[in-house]
Structure 1
Amino acid sequence: MSGICNGLCILGFFMLNQVLAQDTQVLFTIERSLNEDQIVYFLHLDEAGLLRKENPVSLKWLDNQKTGELVPVNWIKKKFGYDIRILSHDGDRLTFKFVSYDKKIFTIKKDLFGNYAVFAKINERVMKIRHIYLEIDGGSFWKPNITQVAVMGFQELANTRIKEIFNP
């Protein structure tokens, strides 16, 4: 009897993890020149498959240098650096800016395949965003000297990779 119970418990655990994985997906990442760590942005959906009303996007550090695990981003880095400010939230569409850079608007919406993704204007065309790279050259904790930002994505129909590099 305990063998059957253990088997059912294990099956339930895998089913729970599958459900949790279905309502959370990786949207995009930010990498910095300072180290190999990355900031990973996650999308959270409700039971109907729409963007959650509360906290639809979360972020964590991927600690590549030490453990290789996802760890929480501290309050200071969220508040002044990597968190997002939601401009509008419309069920299956959300627009935001970064708290540290308000000159570029990003939109979360469904792509051509019905999956949520982040879109922004790159080189005067709306592209699907997958990765952002920050080149940091000195500065301080409160005001790092970001010399270059590279936003990488692709045009869906042509499946063409696009990169926009700019100085913030």
Structure 2
Amino acid sequence: MLQQGVYKVINPFAVSRLLGSIKGLVLKVQRAARTVAFSKNGAAGLLALRLLFSNLPLADAARQPGTVFPVPTGIANQLFYLQRDPNSNTIIYQLNVNAAGKLNEEEPVRVFWIRYAEQGERKDLNFVQRKFAYGLSTKKLAPDKYELKFAAYDKVRFFLMKSAVDNAFHVLVTIANKQIVLTRVFLRIEGGTFWVPNVKYIEFKGWNAATREPVVERVSV
């Protein structure tokens, strides 16, 4: 005998209305994406649209007063990290190896949050953040060499490579004819709104692969 109240009859009309509402929401998001993507500032707008689903506040996307961007420490096999306005929450890009130090060739880079604004909690990216903003796609080019592309911005090519100098993996990017061993990426956002934050530039920080001197380069979006 079934326990009373455990099972309920599903109302097909209610299900139909729910599916219709979900479909309507998806269509609205798709229309917004197309509008932004083909606007006058299409590239910046599309990046902004993707970023808005990635933990930006509902109001202005300006930096919160007194924001301090900490340098992550104590993270084994960290490749580089990403920070952006409006808060100090940081995304870590970590070499994905097992206990024996063997690289996971299917997913060579692990990506996760350190939520400094929330007592330093570590947290995985959600689906949208991973697929449309901060996640990476990877392609193996040769032994110990992979091409990496950001989900939100694939105009800059990144390469995960093992160095002959220290026998360790690093992420390299070429900006202004300089090959940079990457340590930090920063997105500058100055004002704007929930739908269109004003993304000013992307800053790449690291050291020159040829001279080993510190280097910082910016790319306007």
- TM-score, normalised on structure 2? 0.60
CA distances 1:65-89 after superposition (whole Å, capped 9, x unpaired): 1111311111111111000122335
2:96 to 13, 21, 44: 44
List alignment gaps of at least 5 residues for structure 1. Answer: 1-23
What do you get for the CA RMSD once the two structures are aligned?
Answer: 2.2
Report deviation, 1:95: 0.7
Residues 1-168 of structure 1: matches in 2 within 5 Å?
A: 25-45=77-97, 49=101, 51-111=103-163, 112-137=165-190, 138-140=192-194, 144-168=197-221
2:81–2:184 contact (8 Å) kept in structure 1: yes
Structure number with the bigger relative contact order (C-alpha 8 A, sep ≥ 6) is: 2
CA–CA distance in structure 2, aligned partners of residues 51 and 89 of structure 1: 15
CA–CA distance in structure 1, aligned partners of residues 99 and 83 of structure 2: 31
2:179–2:210 contact (8 Å) kept in structure 1: no
The count of corresponding residues between Structure 1 and Structure 2 is: 145
Match of 1:9 in 2: none
* Percentage of pairs with the same residue: 26
List alignment gaps of at least 5 residues for structure 2. Answer: 1-75
After superposing on structure 2, the runs of 4+ consecutive aligned residues of structure 1 that deviate more than 2 Å are 45-51, 87-91, 137-141, 156-159
Report the structure, 1 or 2, having the larger strand content: 1
